[in-house]
Amino acid sequence: MYLADRTWPELGDYVAEESVAVVPLGSTEQHGPHLPLATDHLIAEALAREAADRGGYLCTPTVNVGVSPHHKQFHGTMWVDPPAFRDYVESFSRNLSYHGIDRIVYVNAHGGNMEHLREVGRRLREDEVAFAVEWMWDESIPTLVSDLFEHNGPHGGPKETAMIMHIAPELVREGKLEDARDGGLVELSDGDLFVHGARNYYDAIDNTENGVLGDQTDATPEKGERLFDAATDQLVNLLDWIDEKPFPDLMAKPHVDPQPGSRRS
């Protein structure tokens, strides 16, 4: 169920009976010459809506702009600084608890948001306000991703291309797939990524001239559909798993024994 399409009286049963919210988050950032800047938030939104509908959960609107300063050199990339992103997400998450929501899955399709969602999740859990966990679609189906693509590329590669071919085919510039591959970095391990153990890059442009990685010509709508279905299955399973857990089981384990102060005279 998509929260924003409902009227408030229609949400009464959910608020009374349920405790899970699905929150899609993405980015608005360059994805090469063949994919729209919307790529990440489109993927997150499509997966979150589909899984929420299948599983009977509540899906919120999408956070469209995330933490993407590492793509800034390319036209149109938007980003918020990490503290502002964390505080924005924490604030609406915390406020969701007013309606009894105490489990949140951040359906995320932008790697740069992950550590920040994790930090927000920890804050909410430390206060026992909610259990909020980030989820990245491709990390839920690593084997399938590897099986489908030889050079899958972590950004703007065939896996994201295939997903957009399935979700929003009109937004894929088919004629640019070869350009995308030839002007970028096909194999991540060919990049000059580390120097003596330190990261040798801050920005996407440090490793790829057109902003993308992998072999985009390997993407097809059919592969996109397989990815989408498999990831949705994973997400529904995750939502069911969280839904069924007693709340205390989702909170931090107690201090090991002996308990602090337990033998204080």
State which residue, 102 or 218, has the beta carbon closest to its own copies.
102
Measure the CA–CA gap between 209 and 183, rounded to whole angstroms: 6
State which residue, 61 or 221, has the beta carbon closest to its own copies.
61
State which residue, 13 or 190, has the beta carbon closest to its own copies.
13
- Would you put residue 170 in left (φ > 0), alpha (ψ -120 to 50) or beta? alpha
Angle at 207 between CA 24 and CA 176, to 5 degrees: 70
| Minimum distance from residue 85 beta carbon to its own copies (Å) | 7
Measure the CA–CA gap between 208 and 55, rounded to whole angstroms: 39
| Minimum distance from residue 189 beta carbon to its own copies (Å) | 13
Measure the CA–CA gap between 244 and 83, rounded to whole angstroms: 32
State which residue, 5 or 189, has the beta carbon closest to its own copies.
5
How many helices (H) does the chain have, and how many strands (E)? 9, 6
| Minimum distance from residue 136 beta carbon to its own copies (Å) | 7
Beta-carbon count within 10 A of 252 CB: 10
| Minimum distance from residue 242 beta carbon to its own copies (Å) | 8
Answer whether 210's CB lies under 8 Å from 183's CB.
yes
Within 8 A by CB and 6+ apart from 60, the residues are 3, 4, 21, 22, 23, 24, 96
Measure CA of the first residue to CA of the last residue in the chain; give whole Å.
56
| Minimum distance from residue 12 beta carbon to its own copies (Å) | 5
| Minimum distance from residue 225 beta carbon to its own copies (Å) | 18
